[in-house]
Amino acid sequence: MRKVTVKLEMNVVMSVDEGVEISDVVNELDYQINDTTTSADILDTEITDFEVQDSK
């Protein structure tokens, strides 16, 4: 089996309390990526970058 790294960009929509830094929330997100084909094992995941697109 070979090790493969894939860069994944995600959009996340959330409600955030006023006064909370978005970076604090993003840095503490719990996320899980699972292979449902059983043909691969996910060894590690990481959000490598984020950009605040809208803040109301």
* pLDDT computed for residue 19 by the predictor: 94
Taking alpha carbons only, the member of 15, 14, 9, 2 closest to residue 45 is 9
Q: What pLDDT digit, counting tens, does each position of 41-51 carry? A: 888 888 888 88
Taking alpha carbons only, the member of 9, 15, 4 closest to residue 47 is 9
Encoding tokens for residue 5?
A: 């790294």
pLDDT beyond 90 at 30 = no
Q: Name residues whose C-beta falls within 8 Å of residue 45's C-beta, 6 or more positions apart in sequence.
A: 8, 31, 32, 33
Whole-prediction pTM value?
A: 0.61
The one-character DSSP state at 37 is S
* pLDDT computed for residue 37 by the predictor: 93
Q: What pLDDT digit, counting tens, does each position of 5-28 carry? A: 888 888 888 889 999 999 998 889
